[in-house]
Amino acid sequence: GAVVSQHPSWVICKSGTSVKIECRSLDFQATTMFWYRQFPKQSLMLMATSNEGSKATYEQGVEKDKFLINHASLTLSTLTVTSAHPEDSSFYICSAREGEQYFGPGTRLTVL
């Protein structure tokens, strides 16, 4: 199947700082990418849909000014958590669609 990578795989940051997570489709071009968040012992929650060259569509309750998404090319989408706080600590997972939807390995964010 198609391969999706994420970088970094884990990150620890101080409260108030911003963190950028990259999502890349390695062997295919993805017009649409998705960002999910997962808290411990919970299911994945869709945060936003990212379309190349246009603004992301955010799910209800997700702050677009806090979670900045940029999908500048057909193989790269980035999620920036701005002014991160401890409650933003979570497992962030991206996915890209080429027919089927393929997921990255996830990024563990810990905000101190």
Residue appearing with tokens 């979670």: 67
Structure tokens at 101: 């939807």
Minimum CB distance to other proteins, residue 13 (Å) = 19
Minimum CB distance to other proteins, residue 61 (Å) = 14
Identify which of residues 74 and 82 has a Cβ nearer to other proteins in the complex.
74
Report DSSP letters for 16-72, one per residue. Answer: T--EEEEEEESSS--SEEEEEEE-TTS--EEEEEEETTS--EEPTT--TTTEEEEEE
Minimum CB distance to other proteins, residue 57 (Å) = 8
Give the residues lining the site for other proteins (CB under 8 A): 1, 4, 6, 31-32, 34, 36, 43-46, 49, 91, 93, 95, 97-106, 108
Minimum CB distance to other proteins, residue 104 (Å) = 5
Identify which of residues 106 and 109 has a Cβ nearer to other proteins in the complex.
106
Identify which of residues 3 and 72 has a Cβ nearer to other proteins in the complex.
3
* Residue partners of 52: CB distance under 8 A and separation at least 6: 30, 31, 32, 71, 72, 73, 74
